[in-house]
Every structure is written in C-alpha cells, then in structure tokens.
Amino acid sequence: MLQKKICMLGGFSVGKTSLVRRFVQSIFSETYLTTVGVKIDKKSVVLPDKTVDLILWDLAGEDDIGSFRVSYVRGATGLVLVVDGTRAATLAAALTLRERVEAEFGAMPFVLLFNKSDLVDKWVIPDSEIDDLRQRGWQVYLTSALTGEHVDDAFLQLATMVTK
C-alpha cells in the first residue's frame, strides 16, 4: 500500500487540527484544544490512477520559530501550510516554517491554505496577495474547516502532487 507522510504546518490556532478533522471525520468544533506535540491521523485518498494513504502529522502551532521541532517532519513527502485569513502575521509564520523545513530536508511539495474563509467580516488577506502567490506557481486554497469549503480539494491536490 502506498503511504505518504504529510505535515500540517502553521502558526498557533490557525486551524490545522480542525482541517484534519474536517477532512478525515467530516466534523467541526468551535472548541479550541491546542495540540501538544503531534497527533497522527490517516486517510485513504482515491485518485484516478491509484489509492494513497495519507499519514497526516498534525503538529503543534508555532509562532516562535525557535521552538519548532523540525525533526517531526523527517520522512515527510508533503506539507500543508496553514494561514489564518483573519490574522495577517500567520502568513509570515507559515512561510518561515516552510523555509526551516526546506533548509533541513530540502524542497517538497506543499499546498498553502488560507483558512477560516467563512469569517468574511474579519478577513484581512487581499485578493491581490493571493493572486501574487498563485503567480509563483503555488497551489493556494481558501478553506473553511467550519463549512468544509475547498478542504477536500486542497488535500486531494497535495495527494496528487506527492504521488507524481
């Protein structure tokens, strides 16, 4: 069976755990229980030509890059970078985490998620910024773990990228 380790990376409280729960269990909770260390989930994804088991490593959020345990990422073949669309600083946090991982393990496929897209009143990321990131050839998604919008799309895209 084809298995791929995927790591959820991003700042504190951006919705990493909620996105995994939405994708794996199709549920959402308002209650915030911060992740301590790492939690591992699995989901089989059926692609047109193959089935792959995604082993999802949901890491504790870090705004302070200094305390990030990069060793958790060893053996990963893809990253889900998660930004909270209501907090601009979480974009820099996600990108810094990616740089840290790449410095240690080299470049790997990733998708970039601007999460909490249901919170339109509090949204702070301009469309132009998202367009700029897409211009780089990056796979960018506006997701909501609450409504489920684009959550499956993002994970399926990454599954395709890591099995190429």
Ligand X SMILES: Nc1nc2c(ncn2[C@@H]2O[C@H](COP(=O)(O)OP(=O)(O)OP(=O)(O)O)[C@@H](O)[C@H]2O)c(=O)[nH]1
Task: Report the alpha-carbon distance of residue 106 to residue 127 in Å, rounded.
Answer: 30
The single-letter code of the amino acid at 65 is I
Residue 9 touches which of ligand X, Mg ion, none (Cβ within 5-8 Å per kind): none
For the record, the structure tokens of 48 come out as: 């047109």
Q: For ligand X, which is the closer residue by CB, 52 or 125? A: 125
List residues binding Mg ion (CB under 5 A): 16-17, 35
* Residue 127 binds ligand X (CB under 6 A): no
- The DSSP letter of residue 60 is P
For the segment 6-25, give every residue that binds ligand X (CB under 6 A): 10, 12-18
For the segment 130-149, give every residue that binds ligand X (CB under 6 A): 144-146
* Residue 87 binds ligand X (CB under 6 A): no
For the record, the structure tokens of 157 come out as: 């895209």
The single-letter code of the amino acid at 73 is V
**Contact footprint for ligand X (CB under 6 A):** 10, 12-18, 29-30, 32, 34-35, 60-61, 115-116, 118-119, 144-146
